[in-house]
Amino acid sequence: MVKIEFIEQLAELVKAKDLGEITVADGEEVVTIKGRKCTPPPPPMGGAPMPPMGMPLAQAPVMQQPAPQTAQAEAPAVSGNVVKSPIVGTFYAASAPDKPPFVTVGQQVKKGDVIMIIESMKLMNEVQSEFDGTVAEILVKNGEAVEFDQPIMIIK
């Protein structure tokens, strides 16, 4: 069990270092403390010394941050509705590796249709479409790490 003193120390560290977020894992126990600014770039930089702990290894693909930033820069140039990741995690296009993807480019979707899964802390979170339309573009690859509010796909 995580002690409150430990959580308070983490909160002070986040505040003192002006971090966006810090996650510490010990076995099945995971503690995440978010600071006032939750910008995606600090966790990959701060994550570099952490890989021996285990949980941050699963987050190592986040270091591929330049590709999503490029997608964010391109998203305004594309007309349509941008579907963004509601949480930090791993993008999955299908419910299982041997199953077809929920959606493909050119497919019609309706509001409420499941369009992807974001795995976060071993939980599979189904993401439903907020828009009616046609999938114009999928901006991330299956199994790729995604950040909160990162554009995932465009629906026209």
pLDDT in tens, 68-122: 454 444 444 557 899 999 999 999 999 998 999 999 999 999 999 999 999 998 8
Band of residue 5 on the pLDDT scale cut at 50, 70, 90 = confident
How would you list the strands of the sheet with 123-128, edge to edge?
123-128, 114-120, 89-92, 145-146
- What's the CA dihedral at 79, 116, 132, 73 to 10 degrees? -10
